[in-house]
Structure 1
Amino acid sequence: MFPSFNIHSTPLLVLVIQGLILMSLFCKRYVEKKNTSDAILAILLLIVSYQQTCYTVGFMGWYDTFRNTKINYFLIPAETAIAPLIYFYVKSITKSNFKFQKNHWWHFAIPISFVVYRLTIFTYDAMQSGFNETQNGILKIELDQAIMKPVLLIIGFSVMLLYLAFTIQLYYNYRQKIKQYFSNVFKLELNWIRNFLIVFTFLFLYDSIQNIVGTIIDLGYNERWWLNLSLAICAIYIGLKGYFTDTTKLNKLDFSFSPKQISIPETTKEAKKEIASTAIEAIAELMERERPYLNPDLNLSELAKQANLTRGQLSEIINSGFQMNFNDFVNSYRVNAFKGMLKEGKHKQLSLLGIAYECGFNSKATFNRVFKKLTNFSPTQYLQSLAG
């Protein structure tokens, strides 16, 4: 009998309600602040919550009590809509002042087509006699379940795989880009995006494995419950973390420059090399004299102003002359400053993290990662090597 509150239905019911509440919060914030990323997450949570609501009422006994419910007509393969939403969410964060354009709607052509297709067969079946007494009509059984179901599985798998690949590439390119511009990128790398992609990759793999197993053995409603529970839990994590993570500053970053060669008049190759060498020495002297790396918020624009260069020119000097990106270049000076303080015995008055902060680092995680990368030692191991 409906409703049945049991071990399967109750957890899903609680999670679905929380998902809908989070969706409402995103909608409210979008109305107030007009952040595209909030609207995208709201839609994503709505789709997931809708899918889970259908399963939740099933576990509560709705479909056993009301045998003629037509829910099967309205369970659209969610992957085809979720996949482009994942892509646009990451793009809305990492692209400066991103706006959703009319041509972006083409990314949702497949799920929209599915909706139209299902409404069409529902309309046809509804006109047949006896439709009100049964759950599925003739087209739903003979066309959709017999022919289209495996096709929809393949399409859903392909769409999700394709968009996850595009989105992971988008995130990777963004991480590489900020290293050319910022000296402390722990916050700007936005581990939230990484975790967001990990969650959906996990769900994609889980769903794919379940579908493969389902072609070999018959998986019942209860066996498929675990995927629905995982999806609902992940939706709550995404909603909470996405709501409380400030991504608006990333959307306002300006990367609209490219490395440019230093303006050198027509002359001999030897003279050009000498001028380039002079520019490299000037930057090295600036770093040693002014010590701008002590500023934890130092970025390419600020250093370029101090060096009387454009961002593109400075980036070219650092990339070509020092064979580093901006992030590694600045942090190498911070690491050397840290080493110098240890040799002076500064660790007797301050903790290692305190010294790191004095050298321009802004977080423990960044400091440990950078130090290990540039020295192959942890800070503690390096200190012990000095003592030895």
Structure 2
Amino acid sequence: MIGEILAGVTLLVYLVYTIYNIIKNKKERWMLFFIVPYALLNLIDEVSFIITKSHDNFSFLESYGIIGISAVLLYMILFKLVVSPTSVLPKADTKAYKTSSLSKSKAEAYKREFLRLMDKEKLFTNSNITVNQVAQRMGIPRQYLSEVLNVYLKSNFQDYMNKYRAEEFVECLKDEKFKNYSIMGVANEVGFKSKSSFNTTFKRIYGVTPSEFKKTLASAI
């Protein structure tokens, strides 16, 4: 019995610590919708067990509550990982570049060239573009480009591509050439392959869905 109580209390302490860190760091707050209910269910179950010496008082907790919430939480994390991996996986630590041989002057030059390729040549419209391909186009090692993105542009390759794609999508909506295109048709033109990735990226940047933005834009004309 003591072992079960210790295991339950340990799990609760870990969940509370996780919730505290999410709130403190203001990151991945979407996970609170699942971790908080999960922690509460565990708390109810643990208190009930301590008082009655049994887990049978709230059968729904064992059959549907804790197990169900666990399954939903795991599913949502996996879904988030597939749709927007950079929002789940930690970004590269800039400390890793402290021993880099890339000078600041060269980094600034590479940054300008990278931005030129995006602004003028719109490499992001190629939905299959990779960081390796862009680095080869610039004639620099891949790690240099990654360093420029992480340290000097405070982003990563995929996030930067999607940012440019979202901005280009907005510009295309203003162009008569795309008047008869569907929303996803325009999204494909600017480099988005996945509808879910497109919607997630767009709402994160503009605060509304692409269809809502299009309606607002149409009413403003």
TM-score w.r.t. length of structure 1:
0.40
Question: Conserved in 2, the CA contact under 8 Å of 1:341 and 1:347?
Answer: yes
Matched residues in 1 for 2:108 and 2:71: separation? 52
Pick from 225, 247, 250 the counterpart of residue 59 of structure 2: 225
Q: Which amino acid in 2 is paired with 1:330?
A: M
Pick from 185, 204, 217 the counterpart of residue 373 of structure 1: 204
Question: Conserved in 2, the CA contact under 8 Å of 1:259 and 1:312?
Answer: no
> Residue 24 of structure 2 corresponds to which residue in structure 1?
none
Whichever of the two has the greater Rg, that structure is: 1
Matched residues in 1 for 2:10 and 2:118: separation? 49
Alignment of 1:315-326 (within 5 A): 315-326=146-157
Which has the higher mean CA deviation after the structures are superposed, 366-375 or 296-305?
Answer: 296-305
Deviation at 1:156, TM superposition (A): 0.7
> Residue 291 of structure 1 corresponds to which residue in structure 2?
122
Deviation at 1:282, TM superposition (A): 0.8
Deviation at 1:152, TM superposition (A): 2.0
Matched residues in 1 for 2:130 and 2:17: separation? 28
Question: Any idea what the Cα deviations from partners look like across 1:93-138, whole Å, max 9, x if unmatched?
Answer: xxxxxxxxxxxxxxxxxxxxxxxxxxxxxxxxxxxxxxxxxxxxxx
Question: Conserved in 2, the CA contact under 8 Å of 1:294 and 1:334?
Answer: yes
Q: Cα distance 1:219–1:369, how it changes in 2: closer, same or farther (>3 A)?
A: same
> Residue 210 of structure 1 corresponds to which residue in structure 2?
45
Question: Conserved in 1, the CA contact under 8 Å of 2:15 and 2:39?
Answer: no
Would you say 1:345 and 2:180 are equivalent positions?
Answer: no
Matched residues in 2 for 1:309 and 1:358: separation? 28
Matched residues in 2 for 1:303 and 1:164: separation? 42
Q: Cα distance 1:365–1:352, how it changes in 2: closer, same or farther (>3 A)?
A: same
Question: Conserved in 2, the CA contact under 8 Å of 1:259 and 1:315?
Answer: no
Question: Any idea what the Cα deviations from partners look like across 1:197-217, whole Å, max 9, x if unmatched?
Answer: x48x7555323212214545x
Question: Conserved in 2, the CA contact under 8 Å of 1:259 and 1:313?
Answer: no
Question: Conserved in 1, the CA contact under 8 Å of 2:110 and 2:148?
Answer: yes
TM-score w.r.t. length of structure 2:
0.64
Matched residues in 1 for 2:46 and 2:3: separation? 12
> Residue 11 of structure 2 corresponds to which residue in structure 1?
160
Q: Which amino acid in 1 is paired with 2:134?
A: L
Question: Any idea what the Cα deviations from partners look like across 1:323-363, whole Å, max 9, x if unmatched?
Answer: 33333321121112212211112442211122112211122
Question: Any idea what the Cα deviations from partners look like across 1:246-285, whole Å, max 9, x if unmatched?
Answer: x9xx9xxxx9995474634xxxxxxx54x44322211112
Would you say 1:313 and 2:152 are equivalent positions?
Answer: no
Alignment of 1:46-85 (within 5 A): none
Q: Cα distance 1:324–1:237, how it changes in 2: closer, same or farther (>3 A)?
A: closer
Matched residues in 2 for 1:160 and 1:219: separation? 18
Question: Conserved in 1, the CA contact under 8 Å of 2:132 and 2:142?
Answer: yes
Q: Which amino acid in 2 is paired with 1:225?
A: S
Q: Which amino acid in 1 is paired with 2:60?
A: W
RCO higher in structure (CA 8 A, sep ≥6):
1
Pairwise CA RMSD of aligned residues?
A: 4.1
Pick from 102, 106, 116 the counterpart of residue 263 of structure 1: 102
Alignment of 1:113-192 (within 5 A): 149=1, 151-161=2-12
Question: Conserved in 1, the CA contact under 8 Å of 2:45 and 2:55?
Answer: no
Question: Conserved in 2, the CA contact under 8 Å of 1:293 and 1:333?
Answer: yes
> Residue 22 of structure 2 corresponds to which residue in structure 1?
none
Question: Any idea what the Cα deviations from partners look like across 1:137-171, whole Å, max 9, x if unmatched?
Answer: xxxxxxxxxxxx2x324321244246668999xxx
> Identity over the aligned pairs, expressed in percent?
26
> Residue 108 of structure 2 corresponds to which residue in structure 1?
277
